[in-house]
Amino acid sequence: MQNVEVLNEARATKIVVSCAHCFNTLSNEYPQLGGNYEVVHHTQLLNRLVRDKRLTPIAPIEGTGPSLGDAGAGSVTYHDPATSAGTTGSTSRRGS
């Protein structure tokens, strides 16, 4: 309840999260406590900014690339979005 009070006092209207569990809590549980916010996952925000041409991706750093099979390819960490998709309802690869 204290979190909702603090966010409401700050007049928060939109919250950007990086965690599927935070997304779920803020968008599905906080409204029951009086916290009604637009909750956006950071991947959705980044997608929207790129799509609207407000953010331009830069070229990959040398030694990294999209193909993991290439010799000399850099390390890639992949976070399975299953929790995000189940929580946000977003199953599109493009986000929303």
**pLDDT single digits (tens) 27-59:** 999 999 999 999 999 989 998 998 999 998 887
Q: Say which residues have a Cβ less than 8 Å from residue 8's Cβ, sequence separation at least 6.
A: 34, 35
Say what the pLDDT of residue 43 is. 87
pTM of the model: 0.64
d(CA 54, CA 70): 31
Residue type for position 43: T
Chain mean pLDDT for the chain? 79
- Of 1-5, 10-14, 42-46, the range with the highest mean pLDDT is 10-14
Going by the DSSP 8-state scheme, the letter that residue 18 receives in this structure is S
Answer yes or no: is pLDDT of 90 > 70: no
34: DSSP letter: T
**What local confidence, expressed as pLDDT, does residue 1 receive?**
82
Task: Give the contacts of 14 (CB within 8 A, at least 6 positions apart).
Answer: 37, 38, 39, 40
Q: Supply the pLDDT for residue 17.
A: 94
The pLDDT, as a whole number, for residue 59 is 72
